[in-house]
Chain A
Amino acid sequence: MAWRSNPDSPAFRTITGQVELVLPVGGTYEDRAAWTDEALMAAIVAQDPFAFAALYDRYADLVYATTLRVLADAQLAEDATQDVFVRLWRRPHTFIAERGRFISWLMSVSRNRAVDELRSRGRRRRREGPGLEAPDEQASLLIPDEREDPQHSVEVREEQVLVRRALRDLPAEQRLALEMAYFGGLTQLEISVTLCEPLGTIKTRVRLGMQKLRRALEDQR
């Protein structure tokens, strides 16, 4: 399992139209495509490039969607997505399988990286505005249609269906509060100021929203 990449090796194989990966002995990209997330991460710890490519193909759209949702800038989202995957390759041991599922960890890492970028650029106000001016658009992002993303595993697709259904069942004000906190990087005080609502009201909405989301996810599982 301890495959090592060898960039200088002449044995290159084209996986896609643009990518040339070093071919490890005894394995192919197609083998990794069927592996679980945790198995891929274990292979990435051993610097398996095919596992990394498979993981990218599996979750790049979600990572990019998350960073784009936070940053609202395609170029910044692209850079943040690159940072997330580069960090995943170079420090895969930061994911500990015993603490939870990989997809949750990856989404948290993506969101945190994007929020860090957002805060460093002082673009918080920019993110606040569209959230209030175009609630329908935000709702459509959080509550998309239930079409499945075909590249994801069955398990992830089922997870997405559950999450989207749970989010759809949330009251709009609770969903908005969660969204402003999670994707906008705002504290509850900042949300109350932005929405001109009492801080206690915002705290209640966040608390209730998280409770309902947790319960819905547990029930549907």
Chain B
Amino acid sequence: MESTHITQDQADEYAIGSLDPEAEPIVLYHMGICSECRSRVQAAERVAAALALGLRGHKPPRGLKQRILVNVGIARPHPLMRAFRWSRAVAGIAAVFVAVAAFTGMLSVRGQIHSLRDQNAHLSTQVEDALSTRVELVAQAQRLTDEENASQELRQTAKAFQDLTLAFLSPESSVADVISKEEAAGAQGRLVWDPDQSKLWFVARGLTPRKVGETYQIWVNSGGKWYSLGTFNSDASGFARYDTVLPQGLKTYESAVVTIERAGGAPERSGPSLFVADLSAIRK
């Protein structure tokens, strides 16, 4: 093709756009080097353009001219369009501000969240410390309560011994010897009757502590019937001290015994007797 000129048919096909795509670059190349063929193709293009020229004119849409003139920069946009663009620009700027504000707010909130988390952790530590302190205080309060109870118990014991001492010293009180039975061999006991304090004491030593499920129970006989005065136990050293108020309503006391009964006391005496006391000499 480079060495041959473009035929009229090729020029026509090229001008009308129906030339084989493979032949098109060859035609273009030859047009670049051959002015005669270039003129032939251009003449064919003018004929082909007549096809378009033969079309009935079609009025373009309204606004196209304005759009084109604005596009090439030789006309101002229509006021409404300018207003629209301004509003769009303002909206865009506003959107940017909103986005920045939102981002800033997000950062601020994030910082506040971190701060609150730190505060929360600090408060949690303080709460834990407070709880530990509270536990210690409760423990100390419990210890104080225990000590107070122990002190109270000691005061009661001291009071009891003081009362017992007063009972021994009182001229109105009576002391009954207690006879140990075989089950309480080696043990010694006394029964103190004090009308001034309206109380009686039973004191013993060498008395074996009862095993679990058993207790000592003291009884008094009046008119041939036994009345329980209560239960007690001895300590590890074998010492026992029991006091109770004088039984009301009983006119006479013949004797008293200490028996071994089940824990909590028995309604009727059933266990073996350890001590026996004669109460006939006691003044009523």
- A residues contacting B by CB (< 8 A) are 5, 7, 12, 16, 18-22, 49, 52-53, 56-57, 60-66, 68-69, 74, 78, 81-82, 85-86, 89-90, 99-101, 103-105, 107-108, 110-111, 115, 141-145, 147, 149, 151-152, 156, 159-160, 163-164, 166-167, 178-179, 181-183, 185-189, 191, 203, 206-207, 210-211, 213-214, 217
Contact = CB atoms under 8 A, between A and B. Distances in A.
Contacts of A207: 9, 12
A12 B75 CA distance: 9
Interface string B1-19: 0000000010011011111
Contact of A61 (B54, B58, B78): B58
A60 B60 contact: yes
B54 A179 contact: no
Contact of B51 (A16, A100, A115, A183): A183
Contacts of B56: 65, 141, 144-145, 147, 149
A165 B43 CA distance: 20
A188 B19 CA distance: 7
B54 A189 contact: no
Given A56-B65, A181-B16, A181-B18, A99 B42 contact: yes
B254 to A, nearest CB: 133
Given A90-B72, A182-B48, A210-B16, A159 B60 contact: no
A110 B48 CA distance: 12
Given A81-B64, A149-B57, A210-B16, 19 more contacts: A56-B68, A57-B65, A60-B60, A61-B59, A62-B52, A69-B52, A78-B61, A78-B64, A100-B42, A104-B45, A108-B45, A108-B48, A111-B49, A141-B56, A163-B51, A167-B51, A206-B16, A213-B50, A217-B47
B49 A103 contact: yes
B132 interface: no
| 8 shortest interchain CB distances as A-B pairs | A61-B57, A181-B18, A65-B58, A144-B56, A49-B74, A107-B52, A107-B49, A210-B12
A19 B3 CA distance: 54
A87 to B, nearest CB: 10
Contact of B74 (A22, A182, A188): A22
Contacts of A52: 69, 72, 74
A19 B63 CA distance: 9
B53 A103 contact: yes
B55 A21 contact: no
A7 B45 CA distance: 37
Interface of B: 9, 12-13, 15-21, 42-61, 63-69, 71-76, 78
A206 B206 CA distance: 147
Nearest to A183: B51
Contacts of A152: 57
A60 B67 CA distance: 13
Contact of A100 (B12, B46, B63): B46
Contacts, number: 182
Contacts of A210: 12, 15-16, 44, 47-48
Contacts of B17: 111, 115, 181-182, 185-186
A22 B45 CA distance: 36
A111 to B, nearest CB: 6
A19 to B, nearest CB: 5
A69 B49 contact: no
B74 A206 contact: no
Nearest to B47: A214
5 contacts: A56-B65, A108-B52, A143-B54, A185-B17, A188-B18
Contact of A66 (B9, B52, B75): B52
A21 to B, nearest CB: 6
Contacts of A65: 52, 55-58
A69 B55 contact: yes
Contacts of B48: 108, 182, 210
